[in-house]
Amino acid sequence: MKNRKSLYKSLAALLAAIVCIGPFASCMTPTEEASEKIPVSLPTYADDRELDLLAYVNPTNGDYTFNNIPMNIGTDFRTVERFKEYMDAGMNIAFARYDSSLPADVTAETWPQSDTKLFCDKAYEAGLRRILISDNYLTNFITDNSTKLIGDVFATEAELDAAIAARLEIYKDTPGFYGVILRDEPTWDYFDNYALVHRSLKRVMPEIYIYNNLHYCYNSINIYTDVEAWKETHEGKEPTIGEAYYDYLCQFLEKTGAENLAVDIYPFKDVAEERIGNYFVNLQMLRNACSTYGAEMTFTSQSICYTNGTTLSNRIVTKNDLWLQMNAILGLGATGMQYYTYMPHPMTSTENSNFGNFLDKYGNKTSVYYDAKSINEAVKKFDHILLHYEYQGSRFYLNQTLQNAGATSYTGSSRFGIYEQAEYTALTSLTMTNDAIYSTELKDEENGLYMYMLMNPIDVLYSANSVMSYTENTFTAEFAGYDYVAEFDCGELTYVKIDNGKYTKTLSSGYGVYLVPLKIA
């Protein structure tokens, strides 16, 4: 992938290939091995790539603010053992933020006693070799355009570079230091100053990784673009929400030259109509912008559960929900996933609380920990192969007769105006028994092979809430002219013989398969 550094990984060899006579349930291991020799195989892929996995709110010092009252749990979780536990959940990047952010007034003399240094030392000792630091000194430079960073704060870019170089000198040689986190979710009017800091960092330290995370698309056009400036260049027409948001993504990438971009969207909230919603169309806009500017797409996914005022949430995210998010971003060619959150956010209140993280505030593992760990382990079985395939396009397959009238919301409402249906190369048709299949096409250019991610995107709760009679989906995909598919089901590779090019599979909500159609030579 573009601009990727050498990653720290050595995967076990792929399981011996076995022929599956018929389809089997998602994530089930075949029970019978075929005695005949399989006449097809995938190329040998180097195992030097892996999906970047991290979680917001890594092990903390136990500080919380509850209803504006500071408190401490009485336990400092920033220990080698707890960071190993974080790694055991599948994470390979540490995120020094919140109580471990670097205060702006830290100096070279006070750095050794800082919470950030403690965080870095414990994470590195545990085995984490890439650590991102949230440095408030840098973040404070990124204000809206009422302050000009060059002019009001520094006379020249050379002065800015000198200040940033001096700042990095404090911690750049810390074992495991990988990069920095700048201001989270900036609005469009922060981009000029953000870009100045971003470009300065790359001049001063070209190999530094800069983590960038923007807003997702919802209802506030003014945070995405200067509407009046837009109208001047569009014959007085106001932008749609989709136009404004896509302009927001493109403005950021063009001004900063960023090599990666993430947004966070939480599709499983407590209000029923907010579930899924325009999740996929948001992802598509992010994918399109990253493809246009040659940036790697990463993504912040929901592992947290919210309340809405005094209303209790309907659920903690399930394994199905976590798989849905993972499959969507992998299918779109993402190279990284950020979970929100590992431990609870340190600022909580009775009116807007959160729970259902990987760990509760006392450090106890939750179902989310075990479910995400299982998914991350499955992904690591085949991500080194997947990352050789570049995203080509996506499409939704929708039934003409829908159980759930809301299923069409998967494709986005007309106000977004970017609904796309790619024409595929090897996948020629698909039929199904339920509402929808979400699909993407990826290509290994070197070997001329196509991969298809096919996922059941139906919310698992539709069945429980009697919106639908069932949420499982059986589909038949046709790969005309092909004899086998290499199937990755929860990371496990199986070569499946297909009759007349047709492959059938039953998927639970959120689950997906990755198929590479193959011909007998």
Could you give the 3-state DSSP secondary structure of residue 297? strand
- DSSP characters for 468-492? SS---EEEEEE-TT--EEEEEETTE
Contact 379, 92 (CB under 8 A): no
What is the dihedral sign for C-alpha 379, 384, 386, 387? positive
**Neighbouring residues of 439: CB distance < 8 A, sequence distance ≥ 6:** 331, 394, 395, 396, 397, 424, 427, 430, 452, 453, 454, 455
Q: Which amino acid is at 119?
A: F
CA distance 260 to 298: 7
Could you give the 3-state DSSP secondary structure of residue 406? helix
Radius of gyration of the chain (CA): 24
Phi, psi of 446 (to 5 degrees): -60, -40
Overall pTM surpassing 0.85 (yes/no): yes
CATH number, span 52-379? 3.20.20.80
Beta bridge partners of 264: 300
Beta bridge partners of 63: 72
CA distance 297 to 282: 13
pLDDT at position 311 is 54
Q: Which two tokens stand for residue 408?
A: 């069409």
CA distance 249 to 252: 5
Residue with tokens 């892996």: 50
CA distance 215 to 280: 15
pLDDT at position 25 is 43
Q: Which two tokens stand for residue 87?
A: 């790694």
Q: Which amino acid is at 355?
A: F
CA distance 20 to 503: 11
Could you give the 3-state DSSP secondary structure of residue 503? strand
Torsion of CA 429, 433, 438, 442, to 10 degrees: -40
Beta-strand relationship, 512-518 and 296-302: unpaired
Centroid of chain to Cα 402: 29
Phi, psi of 241 (to 5 degrees): -60, -40
Cβ neighbour number for residue 154 with a 10 Å cutoff: 18
Residue with tokens 């837009």: 230
pLDDT at position 520 is 95
Burial 234-243 (b: 16+ CB within 10 A, else e): eeeeebebbb
Please report, for the chain, the start and end positions of each structural domain, with discontinuous segments joined by +: 19-48+389-518, 52-379
CA distance 101 to 174: 15
Centroid of chain to Cα 443: 20
Tallying the residues shown for the chain, one arrives at: 521
pLDDT at position 310 is 52
Q: What is the pLDDT along the chain (521 residues), one digit of tens a residue?
A: 444 434 333 333 333 333 333 333 466 544 444 457 899 999 999 988 999 999 999 999 999 887 778 888 899 999 999 999 999 999 999 999 999 999 999 999 999 999 999 999 999 999 999 999 999 999 999 999 999 999 999 999 999 999 999 999 999 999 999 999 999 999 999 999 999 999 999 999 999 999 999 999 887 899 999 999 999 999 999 998 889 999 999 999 999 999 999 998 888 875 555 556 678 888 999 999 999 999 999 999 999 886 655 555 567 889 999 999 999 999 999 999 999 999 988 877 555 556 789 999 899 999 999 999 999 999 999 999 999 999 999 998 988 776 665 555 666 655 665 567 899 999 999 999 998 999 999 999 999 999 999 999 988 877 777 778 889 999 999 999 999 999 999 999 999 999 999 999 999 999 999 999 999 98
CA distance 367 to 289: 35
CA distance 166 to 111: 13
Helix orientation angle between 319-331 and 279-293, rounded to the nearest 10 degrees: 30
Contact 182, 198 (CB under 8 A): yes
- Starting at the edge strand found earlier in the chain, the sheet holding 502-507 runs 429-432, 473-478, 502-507
Beta bridge partners of 98: none
